[in-house]
Amino acid sequence: MRRFDGKVVMVTGAGSGIGRATALRFASEGARVSASDVNAEGLAATMGMLDGAGHHSRVVDVSQAQACRDAVAATVAACGRLDVLCNIAGFAGAYHLHEVTDEFWQRMIAVNLSGVFFMCQAAMPHLLQTKGNIVNMASSAAIVGQVYNAAYCASKGGVNMLTKALAVEFASRGVRVNAVCPGGVNTALTQSFRVPENPDLALFSRLSSLVQPMAEPGEIAGAVAYLASDEARFITGDSLTIDGGQTAS
């Protein structure tokens, strides 16, 4: 499929995992990709994997509002336009409530939620020009409570509602905004998942998916590409769950 020929797609968190898979998917479908990540080494590796030519990259810490504005401006300057924004940058961490430090809470909200807001705000004027769209990366943690994940649930729940609010605000102006809510995905983040001391294993069982094994990053990237494509022109304000039935009951 070449659903994104002539389109410019910006992907944050492109240095690894779902972000990298998403950047690769859009490039394979003809898009010119503007990839960003805070990890310069991972970002460079991703750029070396992309099909096609004319792609753009920039090291960005999305928790910084000005950095997000500069990144969007650099993308438009380099690529001439912006059609799709994919907000995938983020991180996770499981802790007992009493273990959550002020610094951890602030960083979680800054990266996972504020970064999405800053990028959307910076990109919207350009997306209004191209009648483009946004796909945000939320989580099954945005839909159901998850043990030892208070900060993460709060950040991803915020992404979910931010998505819906922007969808309502900009639908009549031709910009769609959707989210994807993955469950377990086979990424480095999942493989290095930290389990708190003395966990309640019965509560951890709530995180299990009905379908096994867990998803691969490319499967999530495929859903992102669908929501960003013209095939999904009648979908906005949606939170597409890809969690193997984790939130079904």
Q: Please identify every residue annotated as catalytic.
A: 152
Question: What kind and span of H or E run contains 10?
Answer: strand 8-11
Question: What kind and span of H or E run contains 134?
Answer: strand 133-137
Output the six-digit token pair for 75: 């993308």
Question: What kind and span of H or E run contains 242?
Answer: strand 239-242
Q: What is the dihedral of CA 113, 117, 119, 120, to 10 degrees?
A: 130
The terminus-to-terminus CA distance of the chain in angstroms comes to: 35
Under 8 Å between Cβ of 160 and 138: yes
Under 8 Å between Cβ of 239 and 142: yes
Cα-based angle 58, 178, 225 (whole degrees, multiple of 5): 60
Q: What is the dihedral of CA 136, 50, 34, 22, to 10 degrees?
A: 0
